[in-house]
Structures are given as C-alpha cells and as structure tokens.
Amino acid sequence: MGQVNDAGIAGAKIKRARVPLFSAFFMIYIFVSGGSFGIEEMVSSAGPGLTLLLLLLLPVVWALPMALVASELGSALPENGGFYIWTRRGLGDFWGFQAGWWWSLAILVDTSLYIVLSATYLQNQIGFSDTLYYLLCWSIIAVFTAINILGIKIVAIGSSLFAILIISPIIVLGVVGIANWQFNPFTPMTPPGVDILGSDGALILGLSIGMWMYSGYESMSTIAGEMENPQRIIPRALMLALPFVAIMYLLPTASSVAAFGHWDLFSVDSGNGKVSFVDIGRALGGTALGHALLASAVLGNLALYLDYMASGARPLQVLARDGLLPAALTRVSARYQTPVLAICLIAAINALLIIGPFQSLVIIDVLLTVSAYALIFLAAVRLRYVEPDLPRPFKIPGGKHALTLLILPPMALITFMIAITVVDQSVVLWGRDRFNVMGLEIGWYGLAGLIAILSGPVLYPLLRRRYHRVAPP
C-alpha cells in the first residue's frame, strides 16, 4: 500500500479527493441506514402503528437537529476528525476527548458486528462450516482495509455502487406491498396487553431501535479534511439524505404490514415462524425478490463496514495528533495520504472481536453514542456564544435561541434513554439481572455502559502525554 509517512498528519499535506454530491449523499445514506433491515424488530416489539409514528417523528425531533448541527459545524470547521474538533473547540480539551473516545469505542464494536451479520446471513442461507465462516470474515476485513487505504474517493465510489444495489430491492418490496394492500398498517398502535409507557413498554423499545436507526448524520464530518469543498458538499448531501432515509424506512415497513399482515411475527431472524423483509418479499414477489432482498441485507452490512472503517479511523488519527493516543496512529500512507495505521488498527480489532461473544456489547452502543451526541449539541450552542463571528457557510437560521430550542427535543431523548439504560434495567433489551450500586439498581448492561463511559475521564489524564505542545484548533 505504499510507504508510511512518519511525519503524521501534523506535517503531511492531506490529499483532498473530489467527492461528487451524489456520492456524498449515498455515503450519508449508508452511514445512517445501510438498508431498512432491523425495523422488523421495532414492528413486533413496539407495534406497527407506533413504529410508523416513530419513523415519522424521529426524523424531525432526533435526526434533523443533528443533521443541521453537523451541517453548520461541518461548514465552519471542515477538518478530519469532524465532531471531535467541534466539541474540543466548543467545550474544551477534556470534553472533546470524551466525545471522540466514546464514539470510537462504539464504532469498534459496530464495525465488527457488520462483518458478523454479513457472514451470518450467508451462512444461514447457503450453509458452510465455521472454518469457512471465519475465513470469509477475515477476507472481508482484508479487502475492505485495502479499499480504505486507497482513499476516500475509492470508498465513495464503492459506497455509491453498494447504495444502488441496496436501495433497488427495497423500492420493489414497497411497490409490491402497495399493490397487495389489505390491512391498515397503523392497527394496532401497540401490541395488545403491553403498557406503552411501562419499563418494558412499547415506547421504550421502539425509541431504542428508532433512535439507533436514525443515527449517523455526524459521521461524514470525520472525513471532511480529505474532501474537496466539504463545506458545500456535506450540508447539501445531509439535507438530501434526511428525507430519503425516512422514506426508505417508511415505504417497506408500511407496505409490508399492509400487504402481509402478521406484524407480530416480524423479526430480523427468519425461522421458527418468524419473518423478515426477505421472507415477506419472497411471499409477495416470488423467489427472485427474496434473493434480491437477501443480497440487499448482506450488502447493507458490508457497506456500513466500508464507510465506518473510513469514518472511524479519522478521529483516532486526530486524537493521536493531539497526544491522546499513540503517536504512531498519526502516520499516513506516503502514496495515498490515508491514515493507514489507524485503519489497520480497526481491522485488527475487528479480526479479534468476530471470534468472541462480543455481540452483547453492542447494547451499550446506544449509551456511548447518545452521550457523544449530547456533547456535540452542547458544543454547537456554546460556539454560537463564544465565537459568534466564526464563518459558517451553512448557518441554522434564527440565532442562538432558535438553536437552543432545536436541540431541546434530542437532548430530552438522550436524557431519557440514558436513564432507562443505566437505571431501569427491567427492559428485556438491556437485560434483567440487577444489583445495587450506591443505592441505584444497575443491570449488567448498564454496568458495562457505565464502565465504558467512565473509561474516558479515567484515561484522559493518563493519555494526555504531549497535548500541551499542540496549538489549539
């Protein structure tokens, strides 16, 4: 892959690639969605009516504020590292590290899961040995590592191709479902006998999945330093992707419930009487549509892996530049100007995580991600007060007070989800085993989430080796 530049990004001229608007749009679509698979669990646990209502509301109260904040700060500070740079500048060194660290921990687990899901889909449908399963996983990691090292332009091209192949079968499923419309997709609103506001209620289950499905709008910002004219391209792509993602969630969900019914059987895992979008497509549109949707599911996870490996490497690189991670991670390929060692670190951790039972750790991702989101929102507001004259090619209209009002709904959701995740562990999704910590009943997953969150403040003074020598951003 070419020689590695020991000077790191501090002394290397970053190679900027031309990423067209449609390629940036497809990359953001993949960052946020990667397909519509996973909503099946939301339908069966929260109910079809509540699921559709959340899919309509969350783009406005959850996704839109982040997309607008990412557009404003990304246009003002279009650098590699994205949200880490914004948070550090707005809230200071300590909180900047927390945002970068928490987000990076979540990404390391996520990227491993995408590999596991892709290989598992194929193993379940085709049938092959566990040895071949691991060889397939490691081969995917190797190929996608090489693509990422080649640069953002190659990643963007690959993302565009993946997105077209992912989207096409989902649109066909939506059209076929509409043509076979039989039932009211909003009925029932919630599963019979389930308390909508209870500790294991439909609203909490639906929110936890829905917030996850609409997260990722900040991810494109991490690679802005390697794009030409990111302050113009990224905001436009974000505004295009926001309604498109919502439509691509609503179309297959509403049409599948309306045509197939049996919403209580919806699940990402087929078999034992359960049905996924793949099975519904096969039932409504024949074997060909079923195969196409299976390919969409596999490609969706591969596309997520491709893009998040690229996005995840850049905050690690910039954290290392600031003396908060080993300096070796700043090194870039002399030929491609990509953070080759940061990319390879992600690949190495992925290769290890696919071996062990790491899947339960994914549950704490929501806690890590929304905690980082809270810091991003707060940084956006504070920068309006402390740096009102900072050039913002894209600026959220209405002034400081409008921005404050904009972030109130997502901040309320974040507070609610953190409270549920850490304190009330009776939700099946988060585990039922509980014990007492300083008067609070904490579940196992809540404890794991707390440890992950607290690792940031604990590690910050230990990792801050040469940060004082780095000029402010």
pLDDT digits (tens, 9 = 90+) for 340-395: 999 999 999 999 888 865 545 556 777 888 899 999 999 999 999 999 999 999 99
d(CA 114, CA 105): 15
Q: Is 193 exposed, middle or buried (0-12, 13-18, 19+ CB in 10 A)?
A: exposed
Task: Cite the DSSP H helix spans in 261-398.
Answer: 277-285, 287-321, 340-353, 365-386
More confident residue, 356 or 2: 356
C-alpha dihedral, 169 to 173 to 178 to 183, nearest 10°: -160
Q: What is the pLDDT of residue 210?
A: 87
Mean pLDDT of the 271-288 span: 89
Q: What is the pLDDT of residue 356?
A: 62
Q: What is the pLDDT of residue 42?
A: 87
Q: How much is the pTM? A: 0.85
Element (H, E) at 333: strand 332-333
CATH architecture of 4-362: Up-down Bundle (1.20)
Q: What is the pLDDT of residue 8?
A: 43
pLDDT category at 444 given cuts 50, 70, 90 is low
pLDDT category at 167 given cuts 50, 70, 90 is very high
DSSP state of 80: B
Residue 437 pLDDT exceeds 50? no
pLDDT > 90: what percent of the chain?
49
Element (H, E) at 435: strand 434-437
The number of helices, as runs of H, and strands, as runs of E, in the chain is 17, 4
d(CA 449, CA 365): 8
Q: What is the pLDDT of residue 90?
A: 95
Q: What is the pLDDT of residue 1?
A: 44
Q: What is the pLDDT of residue 441?
A: 42
More confident residue, 427 or 216: 216
pLDDT category at 112 given cuts 50, 70, 90 is confident
C-alpha dihedral, 220 to 295 to 275 to 114, nearest 10°: -40
